[in-house]
Amino acid sequence: MRNVDVLLHRDFEIGVTDKRLFGAFIEHLGRCVYNGIYEPGHKTADKQGFRQDVMALVRELAPTIMRYPGGNFVSGYNWEDGVGPVKDRPRRLDLAWMSTEPNSFGTNEFIDWCRMADIEPMLAVNLGTRAGDAARNMVEYCNHPSGTTLSDLRRKHGWDKPHDVKFWCLGNEMDGPWQMEAKTATEYGRIAVEAAKMMPWIDPSIELAACGSSGRSMPTYGAWEQTVLEHTFDHVEFISLHTYINNYAGDTPAFLAACDLMDSFIDEVVAIADAVAARRRSSKRIMLSFDEWNVWYRTRRNRQERVLPGWPVAPPILEEIYNMEDALAFGGACISLLNHADRVKAGCLAQLVNVIAPIMTETGGPAWRQTIFHPFAHFSNFGRGRVLRTQIDSPTYAANYYDPRGPQELYFPVPAAPNLKLSAVHDDKAGMLTLFALNRSLTEEMPLRVAAKGFGNLRVEKALQLHHADLKAINSKAAPDKVAPTALSAVRIDGEHVHATLKPASWNVIRVNVAK
């Protein structure tokens, strides 16, 4: 491949990454909670049943905010079922995942788990089978200090101090027919705005995210965002976006181009939100919460397939095993999120453990890292700072990405996907410039030359690559490190240029010390 050139300057930035961009998601689904983060009796479990081997991997992964308790699950959830003495909590049928929910883990346990992991909690309220009244009561239970029935109930349950949860999602994917009590945009907009009025009347410090479309290929996409924001604009800070990248078509170049469509998705939602603002002559800017994103297709199920005999507790569903090419597509999504740091102010990898997850556990056994663990850990640990504008001169390829979400089967053309997908993040405090670089060519090495202007002296601190000759290579309990980062050698500095050679189909992280 010919030289691929990147030009950036210290002073030209897209935006600063918000701490909340690096979040993840725990849903009551399959073995995410039960036998995932929580497994009383496991040899590493503490007295609350929190697996400490999982906790150690979570710390390494470094998510910053955690969405809970759903997902589809939340649209039928009574938050009251998950608080109070465990022996008194009801067992319920969960119609989202056709399982039995024992409720032995609930909001208070989740908050304790977050505090232990040093992660900010993000709670979703049920706007499917319930509405504003349940939502305001949940805020009062969680955040009101004391002196009312609900706040004193929390104290009686053993949590004296308010949980002080700042980030609240107004339901989940309410546009999706698979959702319990799905709604039209107008129906949802009305319910959401009433909840969004009452919740901050209890605690004015909270921030709210309205549901956007559950995917860019939904038939109501665009119109949904517009109508929902027309109702909620004055009462919310965020609109949500969800994307699950797939390779159903077995077309790896198109799979790796899907993150370019994520870029379009973000740009379009920004445009719609700003159009709603413009009609009001408002300078308020609605920020984006990309609160579900990942690669997911092998274990997707329709409602019929979800019917499991006997309504099991924590069945092993959606346990997607990720391969090398999934990690590449996933890395591309990380780059898309970074490159929209000006407007995407929250993000959640869906999900954290066992369910379409970077961390897998054996019930009663060990925990291990999936291939996608690695790009996320790089993204979160090294992606904090000022994202710089980049000019990229790279060969491109044409792709046609297939996305069957929604009732229609759709192809989305990407006429010119650059072989190089890149983001550059400057952490001024640490004196570090980090380049996240994905070589999307499956066959050719990429000679990369980055002109990093305005920094002065450059010194390579560390360079890593994720590459495997077999794009279908996976990690497993038996071989947990088959796909793992290795050193990227021969990165060199020549004046203000960083030079590297990127393997075909590789994810690369180059850390350049730019401290004066």
Give me the DSSP letters along 294-307: EE--TT---HHHH-
Closest C-alpha among 202, 125, 226 to residue 168: 125
Residue 128 vs 383, nearer CB to ligand AHR: 128
Binding site for ligand AHR (CB under 6 A): 27, 70-72, 172-173, 214, 292, 350-351
SS3 174: coil
Task: Tell me which residue has tokens 């698979």.
Answer: 178
3-state class (DSSP) for residue 242: strand
Instruction: Please report how close the Cβ of residue 350 comes to ligand AHR at its closest, in angstroms.
Output: 4
Closest to ligand AHR by CB, 53 or 173? 173
- 330 near 243, Cβ under 8 Å? no
Q: CA-to-CA distance for 377 and 336, rounded, in angstroms?
A: 16
Q: What number of other Cβ atoms are within 10 A of residue 345's Cβ?
A: 24
DSSP states along 225-239? HHHHHHHHGGG-SEE
φ, ψ for residue 426 (rounded to 5)?
-105, 115
Report, in Å, the least distance between residue 72 CB and ligand AHR: 4
Amino acid at 60: E
Q: Which is nearer to ligand AHR, 72 or 419 (CB)?
A: 72
Residue 445 annotated as catalytic: no
CB 326 within 8 A of CB 372: yes
Q: Which residue is nearest to ligand AHR (CB)?
A: 71
Question: Whose CA is closest to 64, among 25, 27, 91?
Answer: 25
Q: Which entry of 120, 173, 237, 325 is annotated as an active-site residue?
A: 173
Alpha helices by DSSP H, 300-340: 303-306, 324-338
Min separation Cβ 25 and ligand AHR, Å: 7
> Whole-number minimum distance, CB 174 to ligand AHR, in Å?
10
Amino acid at 163: H
CB of 70 to ligand AHR, least distance (A): 5
Structure tokens at 109: 């346990």
Nearest to ligand AHR of 170, 463 (CB atom): 170
Site of tokens 């979040």: 23
Residue 64 or 172 with smaller CB distance to ligand AHR: 172
What are the Cα distances from residue 347, in Å, to 134, 204, 238?
25, 23, 11
Task: Give the nearest distance from C-beta 460 to ligand AHR in angstroms.
Answer: 38
Based on CB atoms, which residue is closest to ligand AHR, 180 or 512? Answer: 180
Q: Which is nearer to ligand AHR, 237 or 292 (CB)?
A: 292
Please confirm, yes or no, whether 173 is among the known catalytic residues.
yes
CB atoms within 10 A of CB 143: 21
Query: Which one from 27, 225, 292, 325 is the annotated catalytic residue?
Result: 292
Look-up of token digits 């390579």: 460
Give the integer Cα–Cα distance in Å for 34 and 97.
Answer: 14
For the bound state, the minimum distance from the C-beta of residue 317 to ligand AHR, rounded and expressed in Å, comes to 10
Q: Which residues, other chains included, contact 294 with Cβ-Cβ below 8 Å and sequence gap of 6+?
A: 244, 245, 330, 333, 349, 350, 351, 356, 372
Comparison of 142 and 350: residue with beta carbon closer to ligand AHR:
350
CA dihedral 418→420→421→425, nearest 10 degrees, is -140
Q: How far apart are CA 398 and CA 417, in angstroms?
A: 6
C-alpha 417/C-alpha 298 separation (Å) is: 25
CA gap 244, 316 in Å, rounded: 20
Q: Which is nearer to ligand AHR, 217 or 351 (CB)?
A: 351
CB of 318 to ligand AHR, least distance (A): 7
Between CA 484 and CA 468 the distance in angstroms is 9
CA distance 280 to 300: 40
**Cβ 136 to ligand AHR shortest distance, Å:** 23
Q: Minimal distance in Å, beta carbon 349 to ligand AHR? A: 10
**Cβ closer to ligand AHR: 203 or 320?**
320
Write out the catalytic residue numbers: 173, 292
